[in-house]
Amino acid sequence: MLKQAGIRTTTGRGRLFDSILDTVGDTPVIRVNNIAPAGVRVYVKAEFFNPLASVKDRLALNIIEAAERAGTLRPGQTVVEATSGNTGIGLAMVCAQKGYPLVVTMADSFSVERRRLMRMLGAKVVLTPRAQKGTGMYMKAVELAEKHGWFLARQFETSANADIHEATTAREILGDFAGDRLDYVVTGYGTGGTVTGLARVLRRERPETRIILSEPANAALIASGVAQERGTDGSPAVSHPAFEPHPIQGWTPDFIPLVLQEALDNGGYDDLIAVSGADGIVWAKRLAAREGILTGVSGGASFAVAMQIAERAPKGSVILAMLPDTGERYLTTPLFEGIPEDMDDEEHALSLSTPGYRMATG
């Protein structure tokens, strides 16, 4: 929006979109004004501006279109994938628009709103026991693909994942910070596509920018130093021994994805900082209440790490945190615990402060 004569105005995007898929990407970088420390600039890249409200819209689109280009996805063929939710939601959008049936496998520990969104978009959702963790839902997708001859999206292994972040996410960041300093970029990992794609570009074109990778404190797979056991196709052979269940949905499955392995092997990050799920929740709530920026626990976790860096960074530093998705994905999770549906005492008092239109009290 532009400010003219005291009122904000809009002029349109200057183009008409042929489909919802053309709206993926070009998400904004937004300055944090009220809670950032003095002397540094903190920004967030708001991936919830994607059409289905998460960074995974990017890889979902590229997985399908790369398979179309390669001829490995036939017209009308069913797509199947294991997901904690956001990739499945992105795939459901893409498959709905392009006419592919979609089946998603998902552990039953992930938030209910995710499975309902996928079903709203026409996908079938097959739940797997939470005790079998991410590897369980992954192996179920493999079984279904082999049994029925479906196309397995393979978000954790496919080169199409990091490729789209190299081609779009990283280029957007370069464009937004052209002519300006950018000292730190902070991200977590789910599949590892974001950090791997960013590293390919930033290492070459902004080598002064430090890439900070984060993972849950109680599921520190990378920090453990234990290599992931893999099958011959790069898929996880077993659950990683350092994994424990954590509340940062979308981050760190119970294995190290092959897509992430490229960044680990090639020095694609400068520092690894652990963060607790509790801190992710606290900072997501602060972003919402103090900045009007509504992100999920994963975004809160990235931002928590960015704020740690901001507190000790040299004056003038510029820090960017990736916000992978919207807080509305977490309505039935601990992020919204303590946020009531009904009026609290202060709200009741406000209602009683004028004579009309009062709710009945029990």
Alpha helices in the chain (DSSP H): 56-70, 86-98, 112-120, 133-148, 159-164, 170-176, 193-205, 258-265, 277-286, 297-312, 345-352
- Asked if domains 14-51+169-336 and 56-152 share a fold, the reply is yes
Catalytic residue among 45, 56, 133, 140: 56
Catalytic residue among 54, 111, 239, 298: 298
Whole-Å CA distances, 26 to 57, 117, 350? 12, 23, 42
Range 14-51+169-336 classified under CATH 3.40.50.1100 = yes
Q: What is the pLDDT of residue 5?
A: 65
Q: How far apart are CA 136 and CA 163, in angstroms?
A: 27
Token readout for 183 is 């000292």
Report the length, in residues, of the chain.
362
pLDDT in tens, the chain (362 residues): 666 568 898 899 999 999 999 999 999 999 999 999 999 999 999 999 999 999 999 999 999 999 999 999 999 999 999 998 899 999 999 999 999 999 999 999 888 999 999 999 999 999 999 999 888 999 999 999 999 999 999 999 999 999 999 999 999 999 999 999 999 999 999 999 999 999 999 999 999 999 999 999 999 999 999 999 999 999 999 999 999 999 999 899 999 999 999 999 999 999 999 999 999 999 999 999 999 999 999 999 999 999 999 999 999 999 999 999 999 999 999 999 999 999 999 999 999 999 999 887 65
For residue 351, indicate whether it is catalytic: no
Q: How far apart are CA 272 and CA 264, in angstroms?
A: 11
Q: What is the pLDDT of residue 111?
A: 83
Q: What is the Cα 158 distance to its own chain's centre?
A: 17
For the CA atoms of 194, 200, 204, 206, the dihedral, rounded to the nearest 10 degrees, stands at: 0
For residue 224, indicate whether it is catalytic: no
Q: What is the pLDDT of residue 134?
A: 87
Whole-Å CA distances, 354 to 90, 347, 349, 357? 47, 12, 9, 8
| CATH class of the 56-152 domain in this structure | alpha beta
Query: What pTM was computed for the model?
Result: 0.94
Provide the residue type at 63 as one letter. Answer: I
- Which residues, other chains included, contact 109 with Cβ-Cβ below 8 Å and sequence gap of 6+? 130, 245
Q: What is the pLDDT of residue 102?
A: 98
- Which residues, other chains included, contact 10 with Cβ-Cβ below 8 Å and sequence gap of 6+? 1, 2
169 close to 58: Cβ distance less than 8 angstroms: yes
The residues spanned by each domain of the chain are 14-51+169-336, 56-152
Token readout for 278 is 């509790």
